């Protein structure tokens, strides 16, 4: 049997297996829309929280310098070792922390929120729409 | 037949090397498939992090890629339909390498997702180097086949 014929048969079997996975797997993904991450919050949701939110800006220092959410802390992978202790000084255990990056397309906020959770900050969330969403809603 | 003209697959040391490398690639693909098949939703999110495909295609890939990796891994492990499996190994490694390279070029700070959530914080550069090394191994396996 030629290599291409074998490859075709492997493809057919894989498609069958993928079909079964898509139909019956308990953790199959939704094909219509991505599931909402439980750690993702909208700006409207953060405004409903009674206590003061600690904002974390996951963008670069230069982007932070050109504009950020008031009282936000600049914390990203590059400055983590220097800035994380300073973040802990401002953080009150149990407080909600919301991380943001540039816009919906960036993943940094999600990753920094996950790193914060792994570091013991249980109430770490990331902002849907990031800095762009915050700017839009606070333009007036 | 002299050693020079002998086919690679008929020389014992090279045949053993070939067998070890074939099983190594099979094991890697099987491990990658099983870890992703445990949680396709989570793998879909990892694919989405690359920002290369719309969500429906991402969801489809999250169930198709592990299935293909599983089939390829089984074929290589059993030594059946090896040529066809090697075609898919080369195609998959080339696609994965392209995706990793594009993530590096775009400055995306994401995890490879090569082995689902079982191996995390690998970044993108080392997986790219590993994939290129595996492509070289695949090339060796392809050109040293007994029945070309």
Q: Other C-beta atoms within 10 Å of B102: how many?
A: 14
CATH of the domain at A84: 3.40.250.10
pTM of the model: 0.70
Structure-token pair, residue B147: 């029945």
Residues A3 and A44 in one domain: no
Is the confidence at residue B44, as pLDDT, over 80? yes
Backbone region of residue A71 per phi and psi (left: phi > 0; alpha: psi in -120 to 50; beta: other values): left
Q: Contact, B81 vs A23, CB < 8 A?
A: no
What's the Cα-to-Cα distance from B2 to each of B7, B11, B140, B143, rounded to whole Å? Answer: 10, 11, 21, 19
Residues A72 and A123 in one domain: yes
Structure-token pair, residue B61: 């890939």
Residues A47 and A71 in one domain: yes
Using the structure block, give the residue that is written with the tokens 């409207």. Answer: A44
B39, part of any domain:
yes
- Residue A64, helix vs strand vs coil: helix
Q: Contact, B69 vs A21, CB < 8 A?
A: no
**Domain hosting residue B103, numbered range:** 11-143
B86–A15 C-beta distance less than 8 A: no
Residues A80 and A118 in one domain: yes
Residues A116 and A132 in one domain: yes
Question: What's the sign of the alpha-carbon dihedral A12, A13, A16, A17?
Answer: negative
Minimum mean pLDDT range among A23-37, B25-39, B115-129: B115-129
A27–B39 C-beta distance less than 8 A: yes
Using the structure block, give the residue that is written with the tokens 């037949």. Answer: B1
Q: Contact, A16 vs B62, CB < 8 A?
A: no
At B120 the pLDDT is 63
| A73-74 sheet: strands from edge to edge | A40-41, A124-127, A97-100, A54-57, A73-74
Residue range A5-51, pLDDT digits in tens: 999 999 999 999 999 999 999 999 888 877 777 888 999 999 888 88
CA distance B128 to chain A (A): 20
Residues A120 and A72 in one domain: yes
CA Rg value for chain B: 17
When divided into structural domains, chain B yields a total of 1
Task: ipTM value, please give it.
Answer: 0.86
CA distance B129 to chain A (A): 22
Q: Which of A116, A93, A97 is nearest to A52 (CA)?
A: A97
CA distance A112 to chain B (A): 11
B83–A18 C-beta distance less than 8 A: no
Which of A69-83, A105-119, B39-53, B81-95 is the most confident on average? B81-95
Provide the b/e sequence for A56-73 (b: ≥16 CB within 10 Å): bbbbbeebbeeebbeebb
**Domain hosting residue A109, numbered range:** 40-137
Residue range B64-90, pLDDT digits in tens: 999 999 999 999 999 999 999 999 999
Residues A13 and A62 in one domain: no
Q: Other C-beta atoms within 10 Å of B64: how many?
A: 20
Q: Which of B116, B98, B92 is nearest to B52 (CA)?
A: B98
Q: At what angle do helices B55-78 and B12-38 cross, to 10 degrees?
A: 140
Residues A101 and A129 in one domain: yes
């Amino acid at each position: 049997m030629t290599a291409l014929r074998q490859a075709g048969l492997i493809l057919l079997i894989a498609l069958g297996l993928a079909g079964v996975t898509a139909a019956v797997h308990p953790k199959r993904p939704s094909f219509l829309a991505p599931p909402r991450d439980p750690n993702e919050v909208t700006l409207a949701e953060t405004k409903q929280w009674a206590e003061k939110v600690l904002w974390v800006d996951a963008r670069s220092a230069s982007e932070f310098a050109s504009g950020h959410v008031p009282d936000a802390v600049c914390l990203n992978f590059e400055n983590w070792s220097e800035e994380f202790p300073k973040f802990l000084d401002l953080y009150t255990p149990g407080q909600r922390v919301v991380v943001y990056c540039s816009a919906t397309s960036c993943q940094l906020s999600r990753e920094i929120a996950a790193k914060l959770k792994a570091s013991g900050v249980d109430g770490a969330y990331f902002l849907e729409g990031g800095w762009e969403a915050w700017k839009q809603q606070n333009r007036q | 037949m002299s050693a020079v003209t002998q086919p690679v697959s008929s020389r014992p040391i090279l045949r053993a090397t070939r067998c070890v490398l074939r099983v190594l690639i099979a094991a890697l693909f099987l491990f990658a498939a099983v870890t992703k098949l445990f949680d396709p939703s989570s793998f879909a999110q990892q694919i989405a992090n690359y920002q290369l495909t719309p969500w429906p295609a991402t969801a489809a890939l999250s169930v198709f890629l592990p299935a293909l990796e599983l089939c390829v891994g089984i074929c290589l492990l059993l030594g059946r339909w090896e040529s066809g499996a090697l075609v898919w190994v080369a195609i998959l490694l080339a696609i994965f390498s392209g995706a990793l390279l594009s993530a590096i070029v775009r400055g995306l700070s994401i995890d490879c997702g090569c082995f689902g959530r079982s191996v995390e914080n690998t970044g993108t550069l080392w997986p790219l180097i590993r994939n290129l090394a595996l492509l070289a191994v695949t090339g060796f396996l392809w050109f040293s086949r007994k029945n070309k």
